[in-house]
Amino acid sequence: MEHVKSRINFKQQVYRIIFKTGKSGTYTKDLYQISIPQEENIFNDKENVIIMRENDFNHISNLINLETKIIDLKSTINQLEDKIKTLEEYNQYLKLENKIHAKGYKSNFFTQ
C-alpha cells in the first residue's frame, strides 16, 4: 500500500458581488490545499486518490499486519498438527512393539 504523508491547508475566501439590480451579495468559497514534497510525489496528474486521517491509516495498517500474523500462525498450527499426528503414529507403533516384547517375541526395533 503506497502512501505519502502530507498536510491539508484550509482557506476560506469571501467574495462580494454587486448585482445588476444594485443589491450586493456575498458568498464564501472553501479551498483545501494538499502539499506533497516533490521527492515524495508518487501520483500522476488527475489520478484519483483516497485521503484519510493518519489514525485511520494506522488502524488499517495494524489490521493488515494482524491478518499476516494470523496467516503465519495458521501455518504454524498446521505444521504442529502434522508433527502431533506423526508422534501419535510413532507412539502407537511403540505400544505395539512393547506388547510384542512383553509376550516374549524379539523385535527388530529394540535391537537397533
Q: What is the pLDDT of residues 56-94, one digit of tens each?
A: 989 998 999 999 999 999 999 999 999 999 999 999 988
pLDDT band at 40 (very low <50, low <70, confident <90, very high): confident
Cell numbers describing residue 69: 500474523
What is the helix (H) or strand (E) element at residue 12, kind and residue range?
strand 7-18
Task: Answer whether residue 41 shows pLDDT above 90.
Answer: no
- Residues whose CB falls within 8 Å of the CB of residue 109, separated by 6 or more in sequence, listed in order: 93, 94, 97
Q: Domain spans of the chain?
A: 7-104
What is the greatest pairwise CA distance in the chain? 120
**pLDDT given at position 65:** 92
- Residues whose CB falls within 8 Å of the CB of residue 100, separated by 6 or more in sequence, listed in order: 107
**pLDDT given at position 52:** 87
pTM given for the model: 0.48
* CA pair distance 20, 38, nearest whole angstrom: 46
